[in-house]
Amino acid sequence: MSFLTHSEADRQEMLAAVGVSSVRELYGDIPASLILADPLPLPDPLSEWEATSLVSGHAARNAELVCFAGAGIYDHHVPAAVDHVLRRSEFYTAYTPYQPEVSQGTLQSIYEFQTMVCELTGLDVANASIYDGATATAEAVLMSLSVTRRKEIVLAGHLHPHYRQVVRTYTQGLDVSLLNVGAGEAGTVEEGALEVTDATACVVVQSPNALGLIEELSPLAERIHDAGALLVCAVADPVPLALIRPPGEQGADVVAGEGQPFGNSPSFGGPVVGLFAAREKFIRKMPGRIVGATEDTEGRRGYVLTLQAREQQIRRERATSNICTNQGLNALAATLHLAMLGREGLRQVAETSVQNAHYAAARILELDGFELLYPDTPFVREFAVRTPEDPRTILSRGLERGLLAGVRLGRFPDLETPDGLLLAFTEKRTRAEIDRLVDVLAGR
Amino acid sequence: MSLVPFPFLGPTTPTIFERSRPGRSGTSVPRPDVPTRPLEELIPARHLRASPPRLPEVPEHEAVRHYTEISLKNHHVDRALYPLGSCTMKYNPKVNEQMARLGGFAGLHPFTPAEAVQGALALMHELGEMLGEIAGMDAVTLQPAAGAQGELTGVLLMRAYHQSRGEAQRRRVLIPDSAHGTNPATVALAGFEVSELKSNEAGRLSVKALREALDERVAGLMLTNPNTLGVFESAILEISELVHEAGGLMYMDGANLNALTGIARPGDMGYDIVHFNLHKTFSTPHGGGGPGAGPVAVMSHLEPFLPVPTVTSEDGVLSLDWDRPRSIGRVHGFYGNFGVLVRAYTFIRMLGQSGLREMAEAAVLNNAYLSARLESRFPLPYGRGMHESVFSGAELKKKTGVKTLDVAKRLLDYGFHAPTVYFPLIVAEALLTEPTETETKEELDRYADALISIAAEAESDPELVTGAPHGTPVRRLDEGRAGRELDVRWSFPEG
């Protein structure tokens, strides 16, 4: 199956118009020694049906499980209408809105997305998306370095280990230092333990943190701002933002987050959608595309990409970021899902998830040898438990019963916790499924 | 030559927030079937937000109507030619969409144990091998989420390589002045310095300028090939040899491989690193700005530094290898844009060995044909390119006062998207045009006729062109005002 266009007659007619006798003549600038004499060792073409069978065969070798895993990717229901709109050619076969007069659909949806991200995070301005939560966090760190012209980054408490690693990757070539501040006894960041100096560009705190615990951001913010640094709040799970105080209200200067639960399937971790929001005074230092409203020559409201002088296509090596292609369609999926859920719907998604999680926690704590890692610290819909046997054994038992029984903490040495399981709950989980999880944990 | 008005030319569509009315409910959500407790008993009141985020309150079908209406204001590939040069706006096969949504892919949690994700890992492994063959290179990472992230990965690989050889002083990266903006932006992000090289009169890298720039501080050369003028760097073998002799590495921005796939390989040209944009050459949709995927292929001497994890195969069992002590680290939260990889894999398997080569040849033929049709009206200062050509509107501007920007806007009235304009920076009034292989001769003719007609309009009625567009959902927008009077989110009325 190919998507070629021309008949032999077309080809001849076009070659004649160009004034050459074969397509190979058009490759005359390539040294002959570089032209492949033999075809690439790739498989033969397949018809659409053959390709469908092949690819479906790969998909079928992956287990479809009842999911209790989270750690940055959550198994929510996406309404059919979201995907229906997403599949409109007008949206998914368009590109970055370089010609705004014929891209108002994309531009208006991004403007609405930016508004929703501001509402969720409690901040003033948001961009059109970053690749994911981890890279959004790295971009927030880079922005903090640029805003403060300082060279020290503090990563505090239980930050998602992958976010930490991506920050490390992104900053490895820069003349900056990364400091780690461990979590306190409650599993959260303690104000007294923070080392913030006049060299500190930012402190990164995740809330709810990588173990699902809610951080107290306000006292941290005060301390950080006193030192002239920025508080970057990483959000690996945005659903709790429907219920808990938004980071912007608690003094966060930047929220760098993951938007996957809104409209995007887990998809083995991508494509998802990085959220980036900040205080308005930082807008000229922000990475990525930003859409703004304006008027056309007849006074009609319309939307354009704005503040492009920050970006690589204009500023080149002095750009605020190198990002070009972002996660446009995933941001649209999030916009659609949030629009369809609305105020009450999103609250209900969060509340059902919370109730499921707390019911599960209560049941699990009745089991011998299971305890919460941090029993006295509030969580929203994800929590960590110690297990009486190797979590790998439990996960295998779960797989046999069609269930993904959480994420093994031992896979994250950076977290410096004892081994155990991290369990997450969404509105999709039923009491029967949770009871089945409890049985798997108990070895029943 | 007729104009093509947009399907939607109604009044401005209000935002979704303006359609909201208190108490209207959207899509339904499961209520808990477990025993519940009041929220305040589960989460202390001090953590709860005082008021909910002001999301719109609209029924689901109102939301569908709203987004359908605004969608009609978009130009898109399924409507007509979208000749954005360097962006490769080709047809996006519909079967790819179906494949990426299969339950065994879309529902897959990234922390599922390896034994339960063998199909996903097999697809990744096989895609990596095929991209390695296309590049003529030894190893591939699929993790970068887009081209610019592939570039960052590539430059960090250069850095790790030089450091491993005790040559940390190599911090300068050479980049021609025709390069895409992400190249210099990436080099700066990696903490390296950019040295810009002037192109010669043929639009190619000047070998003389290269020789002069090479020294023991050079980390490498980033060279798009064919470059952004669409011109093949025919001295590439000499260039690679010079860079290697000076101890540097060769990086190819392979974002656009549409001219070369199955014809010639970056590895044979002496490149050490190349990144692909699967959303260009390999047909995955651009999605209004993403997602993309930017895999990176490398020669064996760079393989130890690739991001973690990599996919490995042993006796037919696939796993993710995290134990790579010399790796630059991870660049993405998980394994990259997996759903995009599924689409590209499906495309490559459908086209296969022969189809990929024919794809490249057709892309080059289409561009040659379009160039032949247009060059008498719009000169090609650097000649015809391979898969894309850069026309100049400078003569037209001199003669009529009509700028490239005006021509671009007038094209919208004819039902086409404009080409990439004012890039590359080294061509005055540039129109960087890439038709791709999935356009018929008739569509190319229609587009050429439109441009010829616009050139005639510029002479007979310049104000018609400078006042364009006329038939689009909105007329020309005041971008200056958008930057001065920032309005980047909906302002809710008080109370």
3-state secondary structure B352-370: HHHHHHHHHHHHHHHHHHH
**Do A99 and A204 fall within a single domain?**
yes
Question: Would you call A295 and B477 a contact, using CB atoms and an 8 Å cutoff?
Answer: yes
Q: How far apart are CA B229 and CA A148, in angstroms?
A: 39
Helices (H) and strands (E) in chain B, counts: 16, 12
CATH number at residue A413: 3.90.1150.10
CA distance B400 to chain A (A): 22
**Do A379 and A308 fall within a single domain?**
no
Report the residue of chain A nearest B235, measured CA to CA. Answer: A31
Q: Quote the ipTM score.
A: 0.98
Q: How many cross-chain Cβ pairs, A to B, lie less than 8 Å apart?
A: 700
Domain assignment present for residue A224? The answer is yes
Paired tokens of B62: 């109102």
Report the pLDDT averaged over residues B239-250: 98
Q: Are A289 and A305 in contact (CB under 8 A)?
A: yes
Domains and CATH numbers, chain B: 1-73 (no CATH), 96-350 (3.40.640.10), 360-481 (3.90.1150.10)
Q: What does the pLDDT look like over A82-97, one tens digit per residue?
A: 999 999 999 999 999 9
Sign, Cα dihedral of A283, A287, A293, A295? positive
Report the pLDDT averaged over residues B244-255: 96
B169 reaches A (C-beta below 8 A):
no
Domain assignment present for residue A154? The answer is yes
Domain boundary among A303, A335, A367: A335
The DSSP result for B204-224, as a single string, is: SB-HHHHHHH-STTEEEEE--
What SS3 state is found at B3?
coil
pLDDT > 70: percent of chain A: 100
Report the residue of chain A nearest B149, measured CA to CA. Answer: A323
| A109 interaction partners in chain B (CB closer than 8 Å) | 67, 70, 288
Q: How far apart are CA B82 and CA B388, in angstroms?
A: 13
- Those residues whose C-beta lies under 8 Å from the C-beta of residue B324, and which sit 6 or more positions away, are B304, B306, B308, B309, B310
Question: Would you call B39 and A265 a contact, using CB atoms and an 8 Å cutoff?
Answer: no
Closest listed residue to residue A332, CA positions, set A38, A11, A82: A82
Helix axes A161-171, A133-148, angle to 10 degrees: 50
Q: What does the pLDDT look like over B94-139, one tens digit per residue?
A: 999 999 999 999 999 999 999 999 999 999 999 999 999 999 999 9
CATH number at residue A124: 3.40.640.10
**Do A195 and A302 fall within a single domain?**
yes
Helix axes A104-121, A328-365, angle to 10 degrees: 30
Domain assignment present for residue A1? The answer is no
| Domain count of the fold of chain A | 3
| B51 interaction partners in chain A (CB closer than 8 Å) | none
Closest listed residue to residue A331, CA positions, set A90, A107, A102: A107
**Do A374 and A298 fall within a single domain?**
no
**DSSP E strand boundaries for B103-166:** 139-141
**Do A133 and A222 fall within a single domain?**
yes
Q: Are B487 and A295 in contact (CB under 8 A)?
A: no
Burial B121-143, CB ≥16 within 10 A → b, else e: bbbbbbbbbbbbbbbbbebbbbb
Other Cβ atoms within 10 Å of B185 Cβ, number: 27
Domain boundary among A335, A364, A391: A335
Question: Would you call A327 and B290 a contact, using CB atoms and an 8 Å cutoff?
Answer: yes
Among A121, A235, A325, most B C-beta atoms within 10 A, so best to mutate, is A325
Question: Would you call A395 and B113 a contact, using CB atoms and an 8 Å cutoff?
Answer: yes
Peptide bond preceding B309 in cis form (omega within 30 of 0): yes
| A233 interaction partners in chain B (CB closer than 8 Å) | none
Q: How far apart are CA A257 and CA B200, in angstroms?
A: 45
**Do A350 and A309 fall within a single domain?**
no
Question: Would you call A359 and B15 a contact, using CB atoms and an 8 Å cutoff?
Answer: no
Question: Would you call A346 and B478 a contact, using CB atoms and an 8 Å cutoff?
Answer: no
Q: Which of A58-72, A303-317, B400-414 has the lowest mean pLDDT?
A: A303-317
Which residue(s) pair with B336 in the sheet? none
Kindly list the distances between the CA atom of residue B340 and the CA atoms of A3, A181, A190, B280, B346, in Å, as whole numbers in the listed order: 19, 37, 41, 11, 10
**Do A119 and A157 fall within a single domain?**
yes
**Do A305 and A382 fall within a single domain?**
no
The answer for B 259-298 residues in CB contact with A (under 8 A) is 262-265, 268-269, 277, 279, 283, 285-292
CA distance B181 to chain A (A): 5
What SS3 state is found at B199?
strand
**Do A51 and A143 fall within a single domain?**
no
B85 reaches A (C-beta below 8 A):
no
Among B18, B34, B279, most A C-beta atoms within 10 A, so best to mutate, is B34
Q: How far apart are CA B453 and CA A209, in angstroms?
A: 60
Closest listed residue to residue B403, CA positions, set B462, B357, B336, B479: B462
Alpha helices in A122-175 (DSSP H): 133-148, 161-171
pLDDT at position B290 is 95
User: Taking 70 as the threshold, does the pLDDT of residue B495 lie above it?
Assistant: no
Q: What does the pLDDT look like over A363-422, one tens digit per residue?
A: 999 999 999 999 999 999 999 999 999 999 999 999 999 999 999 999 998 888 899 999
CA distance B393 to chain A (A): 18
Q: What does the pLDDT look like over A169-209, one tens digit per residue?
A: 999 999 999 999 999 999 999 999 998 999 999 999 999 99
The verdict on pTM exceeding 0.95 is: yes
Q: How far apart are CA A367 and CA A388, in angstroms?
A: 10
Q: Are B108 and B341 in contact (CB under 8 A)?
A: no
Q: How far apart are CA B114 and CA B120, in angstroms?
A: 9
Domain assignment present for residue A2? The answer is no
Q: How far apart are CA A25 and CA A30, in angstroms?
A: 10
Domain boundary among A335, A353, A376: A335
Report the residue of chain B nearest A430, measured CA to CA. Answer: B33
Calculate the average pLDDT of chain B: 96
Report the residue of chain B nearest A399, measured CA to CA. Answer: B116
Question: Would you call A317 and B118 a contact, using CB atoms and an 8 Å cutoff?
Answer: no
Q: Are B436 and B87 in contact (CB under 8 A)?
A: no
**Do A53 and A162 fall within a single domain?**
no
Q: Give the amino acid at A250.
A: Q
CB nearest to B488's CB, from A291, A297, A360 = A291
Residues found in chain A: 444
Domain assignment present for residue A3? The answer is no
**Do A253 and A396 fall within a single domain?**
no
Among B149, B477, B484, most A C-beta atoms within 10 A, so best to mutate, is B477
pLDDT at position B1 is 72
Q: What does the pLDDT look like over B316-362, one tens digit per residue?
A: 899 999 999 999 999 999 999 999 999 999 999 999 999 999 999 99
* CA B422 to chain centroid: 17
Give residue A260's domain range.
Answer: 80-335
**Do A108 and A19 fall within a single domain?**
no
Q: What is chain B's percent helix, strand, coil content, to nearest 5?
A: 40, 10, 50
- Those residues whose C-beta lies under 8 Å from the C-beta of residue A342, and which sit 6 or more positions away, are B20, B24, B25, B26, B55, B56, B57, B58
